[in-house]
Amino acid sequence: MEIGRTTIPDVMVLQPEIFGDERGFFMETFRANDFAASGIAGPFVQDNHSGSQQGILRGLHYQIRHPQGKLVRVVTGEIFDAAVDIRRSSSTFGKSIGILLSAQNKRQLWIPPGFAHGFYVISDWAEVLYKATEYYDPEAERVIIWNDPTLNVAWPIKPGKSPTISRKDIAGKLLSESEIFE
């Protein structure tokens, strides 16, 4: 598996080696020793599976207590996946990274604890799987508004279109108003 750093070095893109023939393909999506050697902390304690229609935007979510590291991949369709560094002491505080993840490119994105995370569905339908390093804690969950102008997230939303967003996400706060990590 090739593990590469992004412009925010703690966020990594993982490209598995794919073995294919006329029968289909095989790939490893997780190997603890390779992940640990690259600085991806475990253990993972929860697996999540999300299905969404085109135009759905989920995020930007994080947990203020029990922050989650997330290993994200797409098994059906395509999404734009975004991570925002919300660690005040970080040199990349307030910076965002976005990447296309799809069933076709088979990439994964490692988002460490201390980041807000969200995604936008590009294809007609997408199914997203992610492993988390902490359990979901609804009382600790926080939301930063997806379109905070200070974050410069390059959501690939077509001009004149509006994403479909949950009530919880619409009520998200600006980064400047949010409870964040030191």
Is 77 a residue whose pLDDT tops 90? yes
| Percent helix, strand and coil across the chain, each to the nearest 5 | 5, 45, 50
Please tell me whether the overall predicted TM-score, pTM, comes out greater than 0.75 for this model. yes
* Residue-wise pLDDT tens digits, 99-139: 999 999 999 999 999 999 999 999 999 999 999 999 999 99
All structural domains of the chain, each given as residue ranges with its CATH number in brackets, are 2-18+45-177 (2.60.120.10)
- Write out the catalytic residue numbers: 61, 130
Beta-carbon contacts of residue 60 (< 8 Å; ≥ 6 apart): 82, 84, 116, 117, 118, 143, 144, 145, 146, 151, 153, 172
Quote the pLDDT of residue 107: 97
Quote the pLDDT of residue 41: 74
* Residue-wise pLDDT tens digits, 38-57: 889 789 999 999 999 999 99
In what helix (H) or strand (E) does residue 131 lie, and over which residues does it extend? Answer: strand 125-132
- Average pLDDT over all residues of the chain: 95
Contact assessment for residue 50 and residue 128, using Cβ atoms and an 8 Å cutoff: yes
Contact assessment for residue 117 and residue 24, using Cβ atoms and an 8 Å cutoff: no
